[in-house]
A and B are shown apart, each in its own frame.
Chain A
Amino acid sequence: MNCLSQDTLKALILREKHSRKERSPMRLNKFSLLTAVLVLMVLSLSFLIPSGSVTEDALYAYDELMYEDEEENFSDEARLTPQAVVASAAFSDILPVTNCRVLDLDLFTGGSTPIAENFAEVPYLGQKLKPAEISALTDFYDTPIVAYRDDSIIVELVRKRMYESDVYVAYIRIATPNQIRSAIAGTKLKSSTSRSNLVTKLSSAYNGIVAINGDFYSNSEKSGGYMVRQGQLYRDKFSNNYDLLAIDDMGDFHILSRGKENQANGIKAIESSGSVVNCFFFGPALVIDGVRQTQDTFEDYGYAQHDDNPRAAILQFGPLTYGLVVVNGRTEQSTGVTMDELAEIAADLGAVQAYNLDGGNSATLAFNGVVFNAKPQEERDVSDIIYFCSAIKEE
């Protein structure tokens, strides 16, 4: 390698510096033009880049475009609304509706503060017991206990053992329809970004007495789907692939089977005599109008229906009388159930309407801010919940 002397090096460097200074006018114009173009391009970014996610205004604009393009070909023939049937519930107390208020429908308003003294002690609530410990407890699977009651709500809890799995059931009777509510994580319903939070945290925040995870409404894999939360329409799109659960302003469940026309007519029928307060998009339907759905009806539905998995479902037994079911799974103690077995559980419990919700790790049943279906896995963050709250008049 040739070594240059220091003097030669210095001379070379100086020459290079001078050559940079000597520029022809053409070259100057070229670089000035380049610089001007570059600066303009960069400045334009202020107008062109509103956010890393699609803005809320744009989403509303897309909705409007969608409504313009959609042809309303659905027939006017209304689907019959299901009749509310007084089924044999696990409890039959009649609530004295004297000390209640009508809760605001607003998505970000919760229920009345429950009366702390009215919570009964629920054995092993929130305790993550090992399989051997559960087996040793003779009173773990017990008869239902009235876990909470006041003038507006009664909640009973029970653990059962079915299909080699731990099945957690909450029976709820409420005095007013507004006490069955949904809540979301975060502060915006219509947004291209979502938030998540624990079922227990969301339930506590909104004074929920008992709560279950919802349909993970923000899951972008489920494109489409008619969704309403506390009277606010999130998405106006029916589905050929998924069943809907609509809850009307009387608190009644309407399960609308997959099929765009069927669902459109079903929503029309509900709205002809009332309004849709909440509508969930997950499924499949497990029991419709007292008829237990068989494997054939949800054969190609998805959600690993043939495998044993943790599951969650919401049930209606009669007017303002409901059930929440969560089955633990993926452990030796509790393997989980198939979709068909979940439908059987719902039917055995006496459900008139039953609808599958998001299962797997999301399946969580919370009571008084604590996980009732305590499982070895960490509680998972979810995007929404269904909860029941009190409506007693607050002083």
Chain B
Amino acid sequence: MEGTFNFLGLTVYPFGLFVTMGALVMLVIMGVLGYKRRLPEGTVRIFGILAVPLGIVFARLLYCLMNIPLFVGTYENPLLMLRFYDGGFSMAGLILGLVLAAILASKISKAPIGDLFDVLGVGICAFLALVYFGQKYTELGVGIVVEENWLTENLPFLFSIQRMGIVEYRMAVYLYQAVFCAILFVILLSLFLNGKKARPAGNIGHLFFILYGAGEILLESLRDDGHMLIIFLRVSQLAALIMILVSMIILCRRYIRENGNKTWVVIAWILFVACIIGGILLEFALDGRLVTGNLTKLHLYGLMLVVCVLVAFLPCSFLGRINRSVSKEQA
């Protein structure tokens, strides 16, 4: 494998190195932010100790569930699923593992779960940025083919160039995802540190799930590496949708409790469902299963972007009222 080297007789993988760096950065950031939020001492350490095994277990579990035909059918050896050190992990499973670790850590250390999720929401962005960048050293994160154009000539680093027989310019989706997570980190960190505005605990965590989820739905659609597919939909897209949906439900309940506008709640949900249906139809169209008339793939991706922005906006629309109520209470 490209980029591997030996250290004390063990093989070090470049992707593993980026995961390690990401985890360390995440824990340091969480430690600092946890101190600011006055989390009980040791909370982040307990979270870290739980997060490593739970992250690996759930990432591997989800990967194996989606690839049962490979292990049971092709190789007829289900025990191969235990060989996690051969590779094969799911990002959605990893995030699920981290969330579970946070829930358990909050119970063990008696830390408020909302505060811990806020801290996690910021830290996890830095972690994901490094992990996605590390995919450069694997076969993953490579996207659809693009024609040679001005961008491929002048900004070749935005593309993964494959030269074997034919030259293919493919979108380096791993890079876009890394940059997206880095931007999200900056946004959430500045919101976290903005002490002037009071926010209920957990809002930054929700923002992470909403914004990351919306971005993932679009970016995963650009991928073309056959990883974790359900026919032509990606597991990551479904997981992203679930993240947004859960946040939408929780924020909606809070909004209603704060005497929010019930008409807007109904409208928001109708629009949300319409966006999901629209997104699914767009995926069908991108896969060539629907007649699209004169719409090109560029148009379809543009529409997908609009859908993702709307899907992110709707749950965020509840945040304004919730934040105002908290400010009033604290005043």
Q: A residues within 8 A CB of B85?
A: 47-50
Q: How many Å lie between the Cα of A52 and that of B234 in the bound state?
A: 14
Q: Which of B16, B165, B170 contacts A49 (CB 8 A)?
A: B16
Contacts of B49 in A (CB 8 A): 34, 37-38, 41
Say yes or no: is A296 at the interface (Cβ < 8 Å to chain B): no
Identity of the chain B residue whose Cβ is nearest the Cβ of A55 in the assembled complex: B87
In the complex, chain B residues whose CB is within 8 Å of the CB of A202: 166
* Contact mask for chain B residues 150-190; partner A; CB cutoff 8 A; 1 contact, 0 none: 00000000000011111010100000000000000000000
- Asked whether, in the complex, the Cβ of B27 is within 8 Å of the Cβ of A62, the reply is no
Let me know if A196 is at the binding interface, CB within 8 A. Answer: yes
Return chain B residues, CB-CB under 8 Å to A47. 10-13, 16, 85
Cross-chain contact B69 with A62 (CB below 8 angstroms): no
Please classify the interface of chain B as helix (H, G, I), strand (E, B), loop, or mixed, using the class held by over half of its residues: mixed
Q: Contacting chain B: which of A254-262, A267-275, A372-380?
A: A372-380
How many residues belonging to A are interface residues under a CB distance threshold of 8 Å? 67
Q: Mark A343-374, 1 if CB is under 8 A from B, else 0.
A: 00000000000000000010000000000000
B226–A46 touching, CB < 8 Å: no
Contacts of A38 in B (CB 8 A): 27, 45, 48-49, 52
Asked if B73 CB lies within 8 Å of chain A CBs, one says yes
A31-B41, A46-B13, A186-B162 as given contacts; A52 in contact with B168, CB under 8 Å: no
Cβ of B326 under 8 Å from chain A: no
Q: Are B226 and A52 in contact (CB under 8 A)?
A: no
Is A191's beta carbon under 8 Å from chain B?
yes
Structural contact, A193 and B88, CB atoms closer than 8 A? no
Question: Which residues on the A side are within 8 Å of B1 (C-beta)?
Answer: 50-51, 55-57
Closest to A383 in B: B226
Determine if A50 and B16 form an interchain contact, defined as CB atoms under 8 angstroms apart: yes
Which residue of the partner chain, among A50, A194, A220, A380, contacts B86 with CB atoms under 8 Å? Answer: A50
B89 & A52 in contact (Cβ 8 Å cutoff):
yes
B108 → A minimal CB distance (Å): 12
Pairwise interchain contact A43-B227, C-beta atoms closer than 8 A: no
For window 118-170 of A, CB contacts with B under 8 Å fall at none
Q: In which size bucket is the chain B interface?
A: 35 or more
Task: Mark out the residues of chain A between 11 and 51 whose CB falls within 8 Å of any chain B CB in the assembled complex.
Answer: 16, 20, 31, 34-35, 37-39, 41-43, 45-51
Query: Which residues from A are CB-within-8-Å of B288?
Result: 361, 377-381
Q: Is the CB of B75 within 8 A of A66?
A: yes
A224 at interface by CB-CB < 8 Å: yes
Residue of B nearest to A187 (CB): B164
Q: Is A79 an interface residue (CB 8 A)?
A: no
- A237 with B74: CB separation less than 8 A: yes
Does A116 interact with chain B (Cβ within 8 Å)?
A: no
Residues of B with C-beta under 8 A to A39:
24
List residues of B whose CB falls within 8 A of some A CB. 1, 4, 10-13, 15-17, 19-20, 23-24, 27, 38, 41-42, 45-46, 48-49, 52-53, 56, 67, 69-70, 72-77, 80, 83-91, 135, 137-140, 142, 144-145, 162-166, 168, 170, 224-227, 229, 285-292, 297
